Amino acid sequence: MRVIPEPSLQERTSLRLGGKALAEVWMDEDQDWERLPDLLQHYGGKPLILGHGSNVLASDTDLPVVVIRQPRAPSEFSRHSDGRGEALVQGGQTLAGLLVECRRRGLSGLEGLIGIPGTIGGAVAMNAGSYGCSFGERLRGVEVWTAEHGLFWIEAEQLRTGYRFFDPGLGKRFWAATRVKLDLQAGRPETMQSRMREVYCRKKATQPLLAPTCGCVFKNPDPSVSAGRLLDSCGMKGFRVGEMGFSERHANFLINYGQGRSADALELIAIARERCREYSGFELELEVKCLQA
């Protein structure tokens, strides 16, 4: 276990916003989880799994949280005689890293997720999805940690997943996804590569993939209604407050143009919601997690 005092959330979130947390704790081995409750008590803050910080809007004021980090570690793969396979993946592994490993082994099913900048823990918790592919539909099971029960596995039948929704059935208590088991199909590496290239190019053409953003800010209000299209129609594309603004490429992405502030981002969110409600009658729900004191 390694502990870094007062880490900057601005440096740890893709939107580049945020004050300091109380501490950052690296869970280098399974035994470290046993020490976590004492450490949390010592710092007096709530635990926060940040992953890549790519779906987070953190307040510029300091937050009473302890950031929990899981290191990247190699995944384990096994293959059945019919070519299908199974992957055992660590929560701290990146989605991009997993996709590379899967392509090399010809294990298919996650290619549509290319370009999502997150960790496996984050992909589980958000049920990451794009281009007809969702992480949840590949899950065979998730290993979680809770303060009450330590590390334990929950099988797929006990998990509830939906559009950007994941519920391991643990109520309101804190949990962390530490490992996942995935069901994958047999695929040809060349076919998988060309699918990933195609998806990535489409995303790069329609989304500000390389800018400091937090992904889509709002959920789509309906499977057939794009929040981005609604926001575009009511004039939010390119709309700025201070150095924060909605992207010119896709109106559901907030961009930090340099020295943006969380107050500006929250003001933009309020304006966007109000305009969308007036214009279309849809109440937009946040996809991004707002971290406030």
- Site of interaction with ligand EPU (CB under 6 A): 130-131, 206-207, 215-216, 219-220, 226-229, 232, 237, 250-252, 287
Active-site entry in 12, 105, 164, 195:
164
Measured from the CB atom, is 9 or 128 closer to ligand EPU?
A: 128
Q: Are 39 and 3 in contact (CB under 8 A)?
A: yes
> Rounded to the nearest whole angstrom, what is the least distance from the CB of residue 193 to ligand EPU in the complex?
19
Measured from the CB atom, is 193 or 206 closer to ligand EPU?
A: 206
Q: Which of 58-75 are b and which e, b meaning 16 or more Cβ less than 10 Å from the residue's Cβ?
A: bbbeebebbbbbbeeeeb
Structure tokens at 133: 């592919």
Identify whether 12 is a catalytic site residue: no
> Rounded to the nearest whole angstrom, what is the least distance from the CB of residue 219 to ligand EPU in the complex?
5
Q: Are 50 and 289 in contact (CB under 8 A)?
A: no
> Rounded to the nearest whole angstrom, what is the least distance from the CB of residue 197 to ligand EPU in the complex?
15
Active-site entry in 216, 234, 273, 276:
216
- The helix-helix angle for 189-206 and 95-105 (nearest 10°) equals 150
Identify whether 164 is a catalytic site residue: yes
Structure tokens at 246: 């909605």
> Rounded to the nearest whole angstrom, what is the least distance from the CB of residue 183 to ligand EPU in the complex?
21
Q: How far apart (Å, rounded) are the C-alpha atoms in residues 43 and 39?
A: 6
Identify whether 287 is a catalytic site residue: yes
- Residues marked as catalytic: 164, 216, 287
